[in-house]
Amino acid sequence: MRPLRLDARIERWPVAGAFVIARGSKTHVDVVVVELAEGDRIGRGEATAIYYHGESAESVLAQVESVGEAIRAGAGRGALQALLPRGAARNALDSALWDLDAKRAGMPAWRLAGLATPQPLTTAYTISLGEPVEMEAAARRASGRYPLLKLKLAGEGDDARVAAVRRGAPTARLIVDANEAWTGRDVAAEAAQLAAHGVELIEQPVKAGEDALLDGVVSPVPLCADESCQDRTDLARCVGRYAAINIKLDKAGGLTEALALAAEARASGLEIMVGCMLSTSLGIAPAFLAAQGARWVDLDGPLLLSKDRADGFRFEGGTMHHAEARFWG
């Protein structure tokens, strides 16, 4: 095996307008891109720092470079799991290694992973947090084009926000992300209000680590763990409290862990959602494979940018088509 050439860099991609959640607003995203070259074969991966873990693009890049010698010497996906902890750096390298291994094998990455031929997926489209009138206007613009909308919430006034979105998009399916903002609130009562508007999933109602607050809660809408479930080590505290988990490759540390996490979660009776951070199509390419068969898909990262990579996914409204993406197997 020839030594690999490793190139890692930070790229900045502008957001279309602003992306607003309970924790703040973003006008751009800095992603870390990793390329592993072996002769004329190049494996590519992209990751976005998990800011609520204290990661930054710079710290992720430093983590990647810290294991550069081992990767150049031939450390593969299995060894990588021990070299780096879960997080964006491991995701960037794991993704690049999957891509490179698929090219070495002369087959697409989905086949290398033992998956069925990927099918088009319908992704949620995110409505940023705002005043009800703003969210209603955004929902009206999205209505008819995106059949599944994901709303960012903040706690106080959430019922009014969801009611406004329902007015703007009367036929859309709705899921919401509380972003930990319901800690200290009556989760079952809040959920009952949203159920009246047809909401079908509520992400992360309480703060991660305070999941015991959900013990005994009977919610009329399924609850989904996001920040509370990073990888398989978190599953035990999710079972019995949540009906679903949101798998993100940047949290889990790559497709390798994401596929194992999905399998164990399903075996534990949990439904699967696959999401993403703000990212380009390169970042969601491996997540698209993990999302095959998921009940909810939230891979709209490229749709929220001012532009995507030229060789990215083709989106028809909320439908993602993989065949046209000219990278990542």
Distance CA 188, CA 322 (A): 39
> pTM for the whole thing?
0.94
103 is catalytic: no
Do the bridges between strand 121-122 and strand 319-321 make them parallel or antiparallel, or are there none, so unpaired? antiparallel
Question: Active-site residue among 103, 150, 152, 251?
Answer: 152
Query: Which residue among 26, 103, 150, 248 is the active-site one?
Result: 248
Task: State whether CATH 1.10.3720.10 applies to domain 121-321.
Answer: no
- Superfamily the domain 5-112 falls into: Enolase-like, N-terminal domain (3.30.390.10)
DSSP secondary structure, 205-273, as one string: -S-TT-GGGGTT---SS-EEESTT-SSGGGHHHHBTTBSEEEE-HHHHTSHHHHHHHHHHHHHTT-EEE
Residue 251 is a catalytic residue = no
For the chain, domain boundaries: 5-112, 121-321
Each residue's pLDDT, cut to its tens digit, for the chain (329 residues) gives 578 999 999 999 999 876 655 555 678 999 999 999 999 999 999 999 998 889 999 999 999 999 999 999 999 999 999 999 999 999 999 999 999 999 999 999 999 999 999 999 999 999 999 999 999 999 999 998 999 999 999 999 999 999 999 999 999 999 999 999 999 999 999 999 999 999 999 999 999 999 999 999 999 999 999 999 999 999 999 999 999 999 999 999 999 999 999 999 999 999 999 999 999 999 999 999 999 999 999 999 999 999 999 889 999 999 999 865 566 65
